[in-house]
A = this chain, B = another copy of it.
Amino acid sequence: MKGRVLVNSRAAQHAIILSVQLNSAFWSRYQDLVREVVLPYQYEILNDRVPGVEPSGAIRNFRIAAGIEQGEFTGMVFQDSDVAKWLEAVGHALKSKRDAALEKLADDVIDLVVAAQQPDGYLNTYFTIKEPGKRFTNLMDCHELYCAGHMIEAAVSYYEATGKRKLLDAMCRFADLIADTFGPNEGQIHGYDGHQEIELALVKLYHATGEQRYLDLARYFLDARGTEPNFFLEEWERRGLQSFWWPWMKEPDLAYHQAHKPVREQDVAVGHAVRAMYMYTAMADVARLTGDESLRKACERLWEDVTRRQMYIIGAIGSTHQGEAFTFDYDLPNETAYAETCASVGLIFFAKRMLELSPKAEYADVVERALYNAVIGSMAQDGKHYCYVNPLEVWPRANEENPDRKHVRPTRQAWFGCACCPPNVARLLMSLGDFIYTWREDRRTLYVHLHIGSDVEWELEGARVRVSQESALPWRGETSLRVSAAEGPRRFALAVRIPAWCAGEPVIRVNGRTLSPEEVRVEDGYAVIEREFADGDEVAFHLPLAARFVVSHPELRATNGMAAIERGPLVYCVEEADNGRNLAALSVDLDAPFAEVPCHIEGVDVVALEFEGYRRDDQAFADGSLYRPVSPEAKQEHRVNIRAIPYFLWGNRGLGEMRVWLRSR
């Protein structure tokens, strides 16, 4: 992390990790896939060179805005952000492994992006090409600052990876223009963007540059949001009561944009789920960096609401496709779930900031849940097919023929008209190292949030200390941490998360000796081992990992009387490929033991689970009747062997039904 400037003590608590390098067989495979397949594939798509995929136009838009090519703007008003997310992912990729060819591609794209920047620093191809003169007139609908935020994130990522300042400097110029344009002073726009994103990006820019004004601007956008008089309502009137998106809209839906009340007064997650996650992420950042207690409390309330009352078991959020939105507490229908990939990525961003605010295992539990299920499940093993909506239940015929379920696609798609999700997954996977550890200088503690094989290096009293983690997750619960302290022993603490899925007390050994429970302090879900660590010291964990049925809170109406299956961090699902059609006719006995069966799906060696269950007979209905009085025949079930596989591998064996929740007896 070359060139990073440490700007203040609060930030410094977390900023002195020097590097994290993955060495996990499970996750390195994903990073290799992103590096070798996803990034080149997405680059081809951004350049309109993939046959059969709707032209993106994203790179071409920059060429037109730069005056290199003639033509019309193509795609969504936020098409620029696809290029930004790709660049950001490339930055993360280069951090772990320099690659001259990839860097050359990115440098060329950056040249093009900067060429499209206007003389005053403004950058947005839609407004430059299609609506010159209209910049900053429809912030609610048109994603200008959202696109700016993504390009800022790209600039920071690329600068951190390569030390190259071209895009960073360009985006500082744009950020300066935005800081001049927006704010509480006379002559400034007292507004904010309809799609939050710039707030968290400005915090990153602040970290990268040390410029306080970027942090102040992030805070301004949060402070102004949802206050009276409402900016979006005023803007709506100024532009003649017209929505950019929906001609029939009668008035703005402020809650959709989380602009219905000041952010500090928000208790319940509402509206567009991705917007909400990006905003909460920035709120937690700003709360930590400025010591803002009311903002921290709002983050805690919102976290609790999202994760305890509005989150699907796969770590996905968004109960309705209408507005890609939250609905309300405990409303988590399976058939019509939205569960957008980007929202799970955003939830992981939010969780990371909560961990930085205060390390509690529950935050990392959610990171793990979203990561191992919704996020990696959203991408096919070929790296070229994606879910926008992550299904809890697939019934291919219903997903084709019932319009209420058409947004749930029964197979992963090659690309999307609104292509936000695939590059979001790419940037998350390539920056996964950033989510594993935090160092708290004030506690002299290295927090190990995720059991993911990796080497972490940080500075302690002028010396470099390294911890090498190895982990057999998600298949087995063995993790070890080996300390390298070549410059002599150092006293510090390792705080290692005990995952919520542990099926019993973990066994912890230090240099081969098992610790007694009294020797382990557990704080906020972390086992804290504090000692003078010498070079070669090893702390090993055995985390009991067992397949289990999971049930939901009785208020969660949709899954009462049902059970899901988890094994460690993995949620399981049943598929037609293993269990035949009509998975709704299956039921499970919650006491059934599981057999673990090694199998192989799309190049992945997995632990499948088998157990005895039941399937309803249909003989009593052989007369074609739809409803029958109950009778021994009509309720007859026969025993069947049910096989479940990890959710993230669903849909790899042909079109068929899939379910996460099974009826329980």
Chain A positions near chain B (C-beta within 8 angstroms)? 304, 307-309, 311, 313, 319-323, 327-328, 331, 333, 335-336, 395, 397-398, 401-404, 503, 548-558, 560-561, 563-564, 566, 582, 584-585, 587, 590, 616-618, 621, 624-630, 634-635, 663-665
Given contacts A322-B403, A665-B665, contact A629 B548 (CB under 8 A): yes
Are B566's CB and A328's CB within 8 A?
no
* Closest chain B residue, CB of each to CB of A549: B630
Docked CA distance A552–B634 (Å): 8
Given contacts A328-B397, A582-B557, contact A551 B404 (CB under 8 A): no
Of the listed residues A321, A323, A555, A627, the one surrounded by the most CB atoms of chain B closer than 10 A to its CB is A627
Are B557's CB and A395's CB within 8 A?
yes
A403 CB contacts on chain B under 8 angstroms? 320, 322-323, 327
Are B551's CB and A635's CB within 8 A?
yes
A626 CB contacts on chain B under 8 angstroms? 307-309, 311, 552-553, 556
Docked CA distance A654–B358 (Å): 46
Are A322's CB and B404's CB within 8 A?
yes
Docked CA distance A634–B564 (Å): 13
Are A625's CB and B327's CB within 8 A?
no
A558 CB contacts on chain B under 8 angstroms? 584
Are B553's CB and A621's CB within 8 A?
yes
Docked CA distance A634–B313 (Å): 16
Are A550's CB and B584's CB within 8 A?
no
Docked CA distance A563–B563 (Å): 19
Docked CA distance A590–B558 (Å): 21
* Closest chain B residue, CB of each to CB of A584: B557
Given contacts A319-B402, A402-B327, contact A630 B554 (CB under 8 A): no
Docked CA distance A630–B626 (Å): 33
Docked CA distance A311–B624 (Å): 13
* Closest chain B residue, CB of each to CB of A335: B333
Are A627's CB and B550's CB within 8 A?
yes
Are B556's CB and A304's CB within 8 A?
no
Docked CA distance A404–B309 (Å): 19
Shortest distance between the CB of A452 and any CB in chain B (Å): 22
Are A625's CB and B590's CB within 8 A?
no
A630 CB contacts on chain B under 8 angstroms? 548-551, 563, 590
Are A328's CB and B628's CB within 8 A?
no
Sort A-B residue pairs by CB-CB distance and give the 10 closest, nearest first: A557-B584, A322-B403, A554-B616, A561-B663, A549-B630, A327-B402, A548-B629, A554-B585, A553-B621, A560-B584
Which residue in B308, B548, B557, B628 is a CB contact (below 8 Å) of A551?
Answer: B628
Are A398's CB and B331's CB within 8 A?
yes
> How many copies altogether?
2
Are B587's CB and A561's CB within 8 A?
yes
Are B404's CB and A560's CB within 8 A?
no
A621 CB contacts on chain B under 8 angstroms? 553-554
* Closest chain B residue, CB of each to CB of A369: B627
Which residue in B309, B336, B664 is a CB contact (below 8 Å) of A336?
Answer: B336
Docked CA distance A624–B550 (Å): 15
Shortest distance between the CB of A310 and any CB in chain B (Å): 9
Shortest distance between the CB of A167 and any CB in chain B (Å): 39
Docked CA distance A554–B634 (Å): 9
* Closest chain B residue, CB of each to CB of A558: B584
A563 CB contacts on chain B under 8 angstroms? 630
Docked CA distance A557–B405 (Å): 14
Docked CA distance A401–B320 (Å): 10
A–B complex contacts, Cβ < 8 Å, 29 sampled: A304-B624, A308-B624, A309-B626, A319-B402, A320-B402, A320-B403, A322-B403, A322-B404, A327-B398, A327-B401, A327-B402, A327-B403, A328-B398, A333-B335, A336-B336, A336-B404, A548-B630, A550-B627, A550-B630, A551-B629, A554-B617, A554-B621, A557-B584, A558-B584, A560-B584, A560-B585, A561-B587, A564-B627, A566-B629
A566 CB contacts on chain B under 8 angstroms? 629
Docked CA distance A556–B634 (Å): 13
Docked CA distance A630–B560 (Å): 13
Which residue in B549, B560, B582 is a CB contact (below 8 Å) of A663?
Answer: B560
* Closest chain B residue, CB of each to CB of A330: B626
Given contacts A554-B584, A556-B626, 19 further A-B contacts (CB under 8 A): A304-B624, A308-B624, A309-B626, A311-B626, A321-B404, A322-B403, A322-B404, A328-B397, A331-B397, A331-B398, A333-B335, A552-B626, A553-B625, A553-B626, A554-B582, A554-B585, A555-B582, A557-B584, A561-B663
Are A328's CB and B554's CB within 8 A?
no
Are B627's CB and A551's CB within 8 A?
yes
Of the listed residues A309, A403, A557, A618, the one surrounded by the most CB atoms of chain B closer than 10 A to its CB is A557
